[in-house]
Amino acid sequence: MSVLWKAHVYATEAERTRVEHDLLTLDEVVAIFNDDLARRGDPFRLTSASIVDPATRDELRRAYPEAIPVGAGA
């Protein structure tokens, strides 16, 4: 399991407002993944409905394996 905790810090209120209104929707994220999968020649396609399916998680892990740091493991 991985936990990511981060804080959003902005130089100005205008920057915070701009970033706040420039968020990706779930459908946009799905489209980005599907475009990348197609470019890689991978037949798997993500849907916004399938994102909660454990089989989808397994397919994403297969398509995007975790990188192994140089010098780690065999």
Q: What is the mean pLDDT of residues 27-39?
A: 96
Q: How far is CA 55 from CA 16, 46, 60, 68, 70, in A?
A: 37, 11, 9, 23, 29
- pLDDT at 40 > cutoff 70: yes
- pLDDT at 74 > cutoff 70: no
pLDDT at residue number 68: 86
The residue with greater pLDDT, 49 or 69, is 49
- pLDDT at 29 > cutoff 70: yes
**Mean pLDDT over each residue of the chain, to the nearest integer:** 90
Q: What is the mean pLDDT of residues 32-51?
A: 96
Instruction: Considering only the C-alpha atoms of the chain, give the largest distance between any 2 of them, rounded to a whole number of Å.
Output: 49
Domain ranges of the chain: 24-63
